[in-house]
A and B are shown apart, each in its own frame.
Chain A
Amino acid sequence: MMRPETTGAGAKPERRGSLTGGGFAAPWMLGVVTLTLLPMLASAVLSFTRWDGLTWADIEWVALENYADLLGFEPDSQASSRDPWYFESLPGRPNDPRFYQALYNTTVYSFAAVPLGLAAALMLALLLDVKLRGMAVFRTLYYLPHVLAGVATVMVWSWLFNPRFGWVNAAIRAVYGALDPILVALGFEGTAAWPVPDWLYSPAACKPALVLMHVWTAGGAMLIFLAALQSVPASLYEAAAIDGAGRWKRFRAVTLPQITPAIYFNLILGIVYSLQAFSQPYLLQNRAQENGLLFYVLYLYQCAFQEPHRLGYACALAWTMFAVIMLLTLLTVRSGRWWVHYESEGAL
């Protein structure tokens, strides 16, 4: 995958280069070993124990019992077909239905939120990449949602998504109202019976609500795309213009390939972070959703830090998630070889 000799300032002898490279990466390496690797190993060991986190003496080794409880099924029993993740060939009722619920919720959310978030961020960045007066104001405006403090955003959004009086449903009803005469004139039924979603109070519509919230805070990814767009060398555009390429052709042939690293970056991080979404479901969950917002890390948090405290089980959950994310990321990284375009040679 990586051939060290072909990257970087190749004139230096390899040993000196090794020292320099290691030196530059040293602070990060120290951080990742003490703050991530070692604690990860500790949590891996803990996943084979039963522990409530209060006294060291209470740690009890149970080997694979946590994983069996997590992933296992109770034979001779029937899973509930009311659960959204139910399918017919399940070998019985799961030992932990909430695990499967959490896994289902998180993956569904992720598959919707990541592409939509990327598309929105890219479109916003393209919109902002023009030279107009007052662009500074617009850029700030579009970025502000990302900045607004978490809990305040939650309050704001829970009102906006209020099924009866929120502005989102008001907009939807306005659209229905506009469509109604048109449809009636064309001979169809009017829009009177068309449903308006209950958003955060319905098991089905709560995830779309969260997806929309995620798209609204696309400001972070937008900044990265903006920086990428600004870094495309003007010479390439000039060359394309000389060749007579129109706007769309320029976008497809010049812009898009040049920003593929940014897309790649946002995609991987989008997958990784959306699968670990925590604070929004934590703040927005309620009983009416019937566990619709029980996301994976939220479930993990509940197991670890709420009664009855089961830290070993939570660590088993963490490592299962690790495996899932690693799988998805590997697929994305492998695919990156085909569509990501770098200026310099060498993949990754």
Chain B
Amino acid sequence: MRRRSCVKTVALYALLTAVGAVVVLPLLWALLTSLQPLDEALRYPPSWRVSSPRWQNYVDAVGTLPFARFMLNSLFIATVSAVGAVLTGAMAGYAFACLPWRGKRVWFAVLLGSLMIPSQVLLIPHFVLYETLGWIGTYKPLIVPAWLGGGAFNVLLFHQFFKRVPRELAEAAALDGAGAWQTFSRVMLPAARPVVITAVILSFIFHWRDFFRPLIYLTDFNTFPISLGLRMYQTSTGSWVNLLMAASLLSLLPLGVAFLLCQRHLTHGLRSSGRVGYNPRR
């Protein structure tokens, strides 16, 4: 804990707030729009002031669609997918970074190559595969791919960070009698805690925002995630902007709160001590 002069602290806060203001501007605009009636929301020049906040918009946004249902669906899909993606991604990243196995080089080339093909071309083979498996209309096409490695992004992320973990950690665990899985779960994963949290957040957000795959693979209205729900506010002639903004902000709220709560875990890691040991009795 370095002591910092008062001036520097104030300057830092000022800078943080200034940048924060720029970053948050669009959200502020969304908030303003969500409180206006349709006439005013579409007016130009867009008004900075809201004459009388129309909280009814939020009631309308939530009332028109089964909003809670959609949020719960999104929560389910995103959570299960994020857990799976991070787990299997970490396993594969660990394997690439720290373990010797035959054909590793070839598979790494495959890993990089899998990033480079636009996913739109894979849509038809995927659809045919899922239809043959009878999975169309269920959540499986959304969840199972996450549990099968979660995509190249997660694997590469963990690969990069596991490469930075000193070999001594794994060797110490091996000396203590740890098996492969224990080394991984008790030593390596905790050591990469910031990365794990990051990967969970990024995977969660990715699955939360995804609308293309749920649109193609889901059929029952009650199983829709919120990403599809928001599309219902758009018409071909423009959209009900105020309702759309209200719904978007509401769907954003739990994510923001969750992020706020768990972002402190991003500060842990090897920084302070660098010593994480393996206890066989745990």
Q: Closest residue to B16 on the A side, CB-wise?
A: A138
A23: B residues at CB distance < 8 A: 95, 180
B248: A residues at CB distance < 8 A: 148-149, 151-152
A4-B101, A24-B180, A155-B244 in contact; A348/B108 too (CB < 8 A)? yes
| Interface residue? A156 (CB, 8 A) | yes
From residue 18 to 46 of chain A, which have CB atoms closer than 8 A to chain B? 18-25, 27-32, 34-40, 42-43
B263: A residues at CB distance < 8 A: 136, 139-140, 143
| Interface residue? B68 (CB, 8 A) | no
Most buried by A among B89, B120, B239, B252: B120
Q: Closest residue to A157 on the B side, CB-wise?
A: B26
A37-B110, A148-B26, A300-B121 in contact; A18/B100 too (CB < 8 A)? yes
B201: A residues at CB distance < 8 A: 223
C-alpha gap A178/B265 in the complex (Å): 44
Q: What's the minimum C-beta distance from B142 to chain A, rounded to whole angstroms?
A: 12
Q: What's the minimum C-beta distance from A335 to chain B, rounded to whole angstroms?
A: 15
A8-B100, A145-B23, A300-B120 in contact; A227/B266 too (CB < 8 A)? yes
| Interface residue? A67 (CB, 8 A) | no
A344: B residues at CB distance < 8 A: 163-167
| Interface residue? A61 (CB, 8 A) | no
C-alpha gap A265/B156 in the complex (Å): 8
State whether A149 touches B98 (Cβ < 8 A). no
State whether A11 touches B171 (Cβ < 8 A). yes
A285-303 interface bits toward B, Cβ cutoff 8 Å, 1 = contact, 0 = none:
0000000000011001100
Q: What's the minimum C-beta distance from A165 to chain B, rounded to whole angstroms?
A: 4
| Interface residue? B184 (CB, 8 A) | yes
A143: B residues at CB distance < 8 A: 259, 263
| Interface residue? B7 (CB, 8 A) | no
Quick one: which of A25, A223, A300 contacts B198, CB cutoff 8 A? A223
Main secondary structure of the interface of A (DSSP, over half): helix
C-alpha gap A124/B248 in the complex (Å): 25
Of the listed stretches A81-89, A188-196, A321-329, chain B binds: A321-329
| Interface residue? B62 (CB, 8 A) | no
From residue 117 to 162 of chain A, which have CB atoms closer than 8 A to chain B? 124, 127-128, 130-132, 136-153, 155-157, 159-160, 162
Q: 10 extra interchain contacts, Cβ-Cβ under 8 A, other than A28-B89, A149-B248, A159-B29?
A: A17-B101, A21-B104, A28-B155, A144-B27, A147-B259, A227-B195, A230-B194, A321-B117, A342-B164, A343-B166
Residues of B near any A CB (own CB < 8 A): 1, 9, 12-13, 15-16, 19-20, 23-27, 29-30, 44-46, 88-89, 91-92, 94-102, 104-105, 107-108, 110-118, 120-122, 124-126, 129, 145, 147-150, 152-153, 155-157, 160-161, 163-167, 170-171, 174, 180, 183-184, 194-195, 197-198, 201-202, 205, 208-209, 211, 227, 230-231, 234, 239, 241, 244-245, 248, 251-252, 255-256, 259-260, 263-264, 266-272, 274
7 nearest A-B residue pairs (beta carbon): A31-B148, A21-B101, A28-B149, A21-B99, A39-B125, A152-B248, A28-B92
